[in-house]
Amino acid sequence: MIALRAAVCIAAVLVAACASAAGPATAPPDRDRYVSELPRSVSTARLRQHLVALQRVADTHGGTRIAGGPGYAASVRYVRDQLAAAGYRPQVSTFPFTSYRERREVARQLTPVERTIRVEAIDYSPSTPTGGLRGRVAPADNGCEPGDFAGTRGRIAIASRGVCFIFQKAQNAAAAGATALLVFNPEPGPIDATLGDPNASSIPVAAVEAPIARSLLGAEDATVSLEITTEKRRTSSQNVLAGTRAQGRVLLVGAHLDSVLAGAGINDNGSGVAAVLEIARVVRTRAPGLAVRFAFWSGEEFGLIGSRAYASSVDAAQLAGYLNFDMLGTRGGKAGVYQGPFAQRLLGYFKQRGQRAEIVDLTGRSDHFPFEQIGVPTGGLFAGVDKCYHARCDRLGAVDLTLLKRLASAAAFGVASIAPIRTG
């Protein structure tokens, strides 16, 4: 999942009763049977098998499955082969993609004291000029309004994270004449974020820790030097799709397949990938009458790139909805249900089983967002973040398999209760 700070509120609602159909053998299959069987058919052993395989992929390819890298290409092959083994005809869809790497990230406070400052370039940030840049810092509040950058011309602006997307802050800073933008979390925690588009900003943008940002803003005439070197390369990447029907209205079910550069991404988002692969298997064997299309997205960590590419070409009228599964096995996590039209149905599933669930607002933070923007009803599940989020320790041992099984079963319920039933 791309870096987030989600707003959470607790809710509990009874699920609406699912419709059932009865009749002769030519009538649509009984939805009640699907709703009952699919969640019970999800296998913990198979979920773990997929996580082990993705961990092995990362270990073989430099510890990462980042989009544009060999680890991602191997992940695509694994998912494609698993779908084929389950009886599908998977399609690998290629789309334009800009890969990104940071090569140098160096900053120092020069006055009134001198010290090294840890910075991390925001994904798709431009480089600083050769040799870096230096300037006095200036406050920019949260950076979401052009007026926040009054007095930042020729200076390095500092803004807090939140309220709006980072690319909007960067564009406001550039328009005001700031030479660079530093962003910090107003609450404890790191920033590992993206501008979402390789051309989103004309000035360098980097994250800095909150205590450093506040210290700089509180100092008299604080001056900073900043040197960032990034590399962008136009290339291509791939989504993987497979479904139970080639044409007609379907429920789209997806998870992002890529990781960040820092780690293997076994919770983020091998857990979602494992759940969708397992649901695809049980749909094929237990509920072949459901009209479902399964999707595995590239470039989510860079800004929902793969799902945006697909959403830009799909006929929204042909989608009954989109369910997204991202980070389902977070240690110490809990069941989070995306706000939206499917929330009550999923909350009801947990309530009937005596399990607590919470509504989460992940607007713009994962692959449901491009579909929400084109008017498709969206929903999903999420288990929260922990210390291994976007870190090297996001490996097999960091995944709570019990929680993953619980959420994967709830995801299977969602598919069984929402997907259209084929009539021909």
Q: Is residue 278 situated within a structural domain?
A: yes
Same domain, 216 and 292: no
Task: Please report the pLDDT score of residue 248 as a whole number.
Answer: 85
Same domain, 214 and 117: yes
Q: Is residue 288 situated within a structural domain?
A: yes
Residue corresponding to tokens 């209760």: 417
pLDDT band at 13 (very low <50, low <70, confident <90, very high): very low
Same domain, 302 and 414: yes
| Residue 258 pLDDT greater than 90, yes or no | yes
3-state secondary structure of 230: strand
Which of 53, 57, 3, 1 is closest to 380 using CA atoms? 1
From first CA to last CA, the distance across the chain in angstroms is: 37
Same domain, 292 and 254: yes
Cis peptide before 112 (omega within 30 of 0): yes
Same domain, 255 and 370: yes
pTM of the model: 0.90
Strands 205-208 and 119-121: what pairing? Answer: antiparallel
Same domain, 84 and 106: no
| Residue 298 pLDDT greater than 80, yes or no | yes
| Cross-strand bridge partners of residue 160 | 184
Q: Is residue 95 situated within a structural domain?
A: no
Which residues of 90-148 form beta strands (DSSP E)? 91-111, 115-117, 119-121, 133-139
Q: At what angle do helices 401-418 and 272-286 cross, to 10 degrees?
A: 50
Region 112-121: mean pLDDT is 96
| Residue 9 pLDDT greater than 60, yes or no | no
Q: At what angle do helices 272-286 and 44-60 cross, to 10 degrees?
A: 130
Task: Please report the pLDDT score of residue 19 as a whole number.
Answer: 34
Task: Please report the pLDDT score of residue 30 as a whole number.
Answer: 81
Domain CATH code at residue 210:
3.50.30.30
Task: Please report the pLDDT score of residue 245 as a whole number.
Answer: 75
Q: What's the pLDDT tens digit per position in 337-396?
A: 999 999 999 999 999 999 999 999 998 889 999 999 999 999 999 999 999 999 999 999
Per cent of the chain over pLDDT 70 is 92
| Residue 63 pLDDT greater than 80, yes or no | yes
The whole domain housing 216 covers: 100-232
Taking each continuous run of H as one helix and of E as one strand, the counts in the chain are 10, 15
Name residues whose C-beta falls within 8 Å of residue 7's C-beta, 6 or more positions apart in sequence: 360, 361
Among 176, 202, 232, identify where a domain stops. Answer: 232
Same domain, 268 and 406: yes
| Residue 252 pLDDT greater than 70, yes or no | yes
Same domain, 63 and 118: no
Task: Please report the pLDDT score of residue 191 as a whole number.
Answer: 73
Whether 209 sits among the annotated catalytic residues: the reply is no
Task: Please report the pLDDT score of residue 247 as a whole number.
Answer: 75
d(CA 124, CA 226): 16
Q: At what angle do helices 44-60 and 401-418 cross, to 10 degrees?
A: 110
Query: How many folded domains does the chain comprise?
Result: 2
Region 98-108: mean pLDDT is 96
Same domain, 26 and 118: no
Task: Please report the pLDDT score of residue 11 as a whole number.
Answer: 38
Q: Is residue 17 situated within a structural domain?
A: yes
Same domain, 56 and 188: no
pLDDT band at 7 (very low <50, low <70, confident <90, very high): very low
CA 342 distance to own-chain centroid: 19
Q: Are 348 and 14 in contact (CB under 8 A)?
A: yes
Q: Exposed, middle or buried, 73 (CB in 10 Å: 0-12/13-18/19+)?
A: middle
Q: Is residue 358 situated within a structural domain?
A: yes
| Residue 6 pLDDT greater than 90, yes or no | no
Region 69-94: mean pLDDT is 98
Task: Please report the pLDDT score of residue 222 as a whole number.
Answer: 97
Task: Please report the pLDDT score of residue 3 as a whole number.
Answer: 59
Q: What's the pLDDT tens digit per position in 185-240?
A: 877 666 789 999 999 999 999 999 999 999 999 999 999 999 999 999 999 999 99
Per cent of the chain over pLDDT 90 is 88
pLDDT band at 16 (very low <50, low <70, confident <90, very high): very low
Q: Is residue 61 situated within a structural domain?
A: yes
pLDDT band at 17 (very low <50, low <70, confident <90, very high): very low
Task: Please report the pLDDT score of residue 189 as a whole number.
Answer: 62
The one catalytic residue among 120, 300, 301, 372 = 300
Task: Please report the pLDDT score of residue 187 as a whole number.
Answer: 73
Which of 290, 267, 319 is closest to 412 using CA atoms? 290
Same domain, 261 and 386: yes
Task: Please report the pLDDT score of residue 186 as a whole number.
Answer: 79
Among 206, 232, 258, identify where a domain stops. Answer: 232
Region 268-294: mean pLDDT is 97
Residue corresponding to tokens 């400052």: 117
Domain CATH code at residue 412:
3.40.630.10
Q: Is residue 2 situated within a structural domain?
A: no
Among 232, 265, 284, identify where a domain stops. Answer: 232
Same domain, 191 and 214: yes
How far CA 336 is from CA of 7, 86, 278, 359, 366, in Å, comes to: 11, 29, 20, 6, 14
Q: Are 278 and 50 in contact (CB under 8 A)?
A: yes
The total of other beta-carbon atoms located within 10 Å of residue 293's CB is 21
Q: Is residue 135 situated within a structural domain?
A: yes
Name residues whose C-beta falls within 8 Å of residue 231's C-beta, 6 or more positions apart in sequence: 100, 101, 102, 103
- What phi and psi values does residue 148 have, to the nearest 5 degrees? -65, -20
Which residues of 244-391 form beta strands (DSSP E)? 250-256, 292-297, 319-325, 335-338, 357-361, 378-382
How far CA 170 is from CA of 158, 184, 201, 390, in Å, comes to: 10, 13, 6, 23
